[in-house]
Structures are given as C-alpha cells and as structure tokens.
Structure 1
C-alpha cells in the first residue's frame, strides 16, 4: 500500500470523517480521495478549496507574513472542513482536506490526527 493510500485511510478513520482528499494546489487536482456522500463531491471540493489555499497564500505574501499555515478551518452548520497544507519538502504544493460531521467528530482531535498524518506523508 502506498503512503498516499495509507494517509487517506488514516484520514478516513478519524471519527466523523465524511470525505477526505490529498490535493495538489498548483493544479487543483485531487491525487486521491475517499468517502462518499450525496452532498459532497470531493473533486469539486478539491478544486474549490485549492482557490481558498491560493488566496490565503497570496494574502500572506502581500502582508509579508513569514509564518506557515497550520490549517484553514471552514465551519458550516453541520460540518467542519479542515484544510492542512503539507509542509514537508516531499509534499510541498499539497494539502490534506477533511470534511467532518460536527455531531460525530471532535475538531481538536481531528486537527491533531491530521497533523500527525501530514508529518508522515511522503508523495
């Protein structure tokens, strides 16, 4: 099993996970995704969240911020969407995407688990 497949399975095992993806924010393409829902198209989510990441990167550059993004959180009434850029040199240009059910998931624990998965991801 590849490191990417393992990362996707680990992400999907997070309590409350609805769908997950590893996305290249240069192209907007998902390298892989898991999960299914009638209301969540992971290909569309990958492309749309690419724009969110790009916009935040541009804004940080314009503000001359030298910090790194840990994660970006989008809070909906029934879901959390967590975007975590991959910081390791073998994953630059990628981000992890997790859609989490608010009633079944624990946001703090999910962020902690995503951090661990991101640190071990090699693509």
Structure 2
C-alpha cells in the first residue's frame, strides 16, 4: 500500500498523464476515440494562453452499478505517491498558477467508450 492508499487490492481507476507542453497530436495515428501524441516537440504556454489538451486514459474494463459515481481528478502531481519504497517522488519543474478553462468558449468534456451489458 502506498502512503496515499493505492494498492492492487484497492484500485482507484484509470490513469492518464500528459504534460501540456507535449500536447501535439499525431494526426495519422489519432482517432476520435483515442488521441495519439507525437512527443516530437515542446510547445510551452505563454502567460494567459488557452489551448486544447486531449489526454488519453489507460484502457480498463469496469462495471458500474446504478447509483455509483465516476470521479475525474486533475492534478499536477502523482496522487498515488511513490509506488515502491526508496524511490524519490517526482517533483515537477512547473510553478505558478494553472487554470483549467471550462464552459463558454472553452468547453470541457470526458469521453468514455461505454458498452451496455
């Protein structure tokens, strides 16, 4: 068990990671369902700049029952903490205020492939 409560016995859901500066999509490999990033360039943001970012989640299969909820968390750090004792936790170089724009001219959404049973 990590210091943040994750273990193989208590799965907290799929994970997706992307630095916004590495957001460029490979048009040939991307689809409407799954974005594919090229990772061939660094596109730093200017102060006040708003950009679209597509983050793919690791594929998983989960069954949700009526009344259960889905929670989507965005964080600048690993919420699970170190996965192995003795390994230092990653400390990102980014500082300052980070803003997630939703609604109006900057709509946000979570796209999930759903298969009904």
Structure showing the higher helix proportion among its residues = 1
TM-score with structure 2 length normalisation? 0.22
Pair member with larger Rg:
2
Q: Which structure's relative contact order is higher, taking Cα pairs within 8 Å and 6+ residues apart?
A: 1
TM-score with structure 1 length normalisation? 0.22
